[in-house]
Structure 1
Amino acid sequence: MVDQANLELFKNAAIPQTVIDYYISTLFEFNPTFNPLKVPGSFLCSPEVPSSAYSSASEADTIKILKELEKSCNGTEYSEVSAVLASNIETVTPETFSILGSASSGLSNTKISSLSPTVMVSSLSTLGTVSTWNQGQANIFIQKLISSGYLINDGSRLESLGTLVAGVPSKTIENIPATVLFSISQNTVFVNNMIAAPTVIQQIFVQKIISLDQSAASVVQNVPDAMATEIPSSSLVFSGPVDISKINKKTWTGEQAAMFFESLGETDFDTEK
């Protein structure tokens, strides 16, 4: 079943994926220790390849597998596979992170804690694009960076963290000027990363922006649409003309809606903006 002729046969693009998946499932059931590097690269994209098939791979073979996955699988990933592959890596360098890509989130907390801060800083452009970090991992990365003397004290540093911004402590956000936070809040990618942060971090970020101008109209104007649910209801009491188009772009909680629609009943609407 595992001879090369069979493997070559299944390279035929006309063979349905369901048939390939069945073959792969049967292949590893028949021989659980079969070397995944012996199958065509596209086979590795199948969910039927068990994560255990990668557990005995050497670091060198793991790198080969990661490169093949990147080449053949169009971003398809499985968390268990990522965890196993990442665990096979002993020496982590910026190049390693570049190869691991999204599979970097498979690194254990212990492994992350042992990383050199220099490697972390050099790898931020890669690490900040990984969307599957859990909160604990993000916290460890940021704590390691800060304890090594890496300053997160301006907008560019905050933006450079990418998805790892979820691990930034509240005190760090509080210490960055509100004008700076407002400026980077115009960056949609940054805002998307920020809304994955703990609620308390989002609330502090929003409060800092509100502090620039506390009128309800300015609050609605200045706070990013995706973070509107973190606006305190007390900041939504209108006393002047309202740009209803701005309000309609945002998602509101029931409590917020009850608060500001009550005040809108006595307010002029501006529907032309």
Structure 2
Amino acid sequence: MIENGPQLRTVNVIRYVTPLREGGSLPAIAEADDDFLYVLKFRGAGQGVKALIAEIIGGEIARALGLRIPEIVFANLDEMFGMTEPDEEIQDLLKASTGLNLAMHYLSGAITFDAQVTTVDSKLASQIVWLDCLLTNVDRTARNTNMLMWHKELWLIDHGASLYFHHSWTNWEEQAKRPFIQVKDHVLLKQASDLEAVDEAFSKILTDDLIHSICSLIPDDWLLRDAPFETAEEHRQAYAKFLISRISVSEVFVKDAQNARTSLI
């Protein structure tokens, strides 16, 4: 692990403010004991801790690459929250999420990115496309961009749909070396004309040590026994191996993205 590598703060949730019902996993705006508002992602929701793991890995890799990501924190949820919530659906979610969850700083006043309104330059577009190819992130389409404009700057949010291989771990070592065919639907693909230059720069930044450091952030509690892994550490190391392997053959997904872009322009 590299010195002064990425670290996540831990906060305690003190007030459930409102659900964000546009999210399939029913995230919420909540207040923490540091007086900040957060978008709270629950371990008891749909994809459970796997979505939270993808959120940590995707978000912290993006941050390491210099992209704008709201601060990610661990968020402790007390069991009392589930006892006082009148909405039964939310009550069940809160009860199932007692303990350590994940949250991102709430960007108050931010608006959803609209490709028809805001033009992204080729370098930034290429950086985001490269990131999503690495992470196999299927959720950055025109229908759901998962990007926000805040103070006239572009911010990336919600990487929970990344690393979709980990829902089964079938042939994961082989999948690491495959192109990302869903890139054809990426909202910024048409503007991504600098993929080769970005590939060269980003591959140098994402060293093996940095990848291991980011994966070390995943709590043992979230890495429960999950076939084919017997220990949390073996499970954690598999994420690192997947990413390191994928970066080593990044020209595969870069070439595929370039081909998909050519068909668009």
TM over 0.5: no
- Based on CA coordinates, which of the two structures has the bigger radius of gyration? 1
- If asked which structure has higher relative contact order (CA below 8 Å, sep 6+), I would say 2
TM-score scaled to structure 1, two decimals? 0.23
Name the structure where helix makes up a greater proportion of residues: 1
Name the structure where strand makes up a greater proportion of residues: 2
TM-score scaled to structure 2, two decimals? 0.23
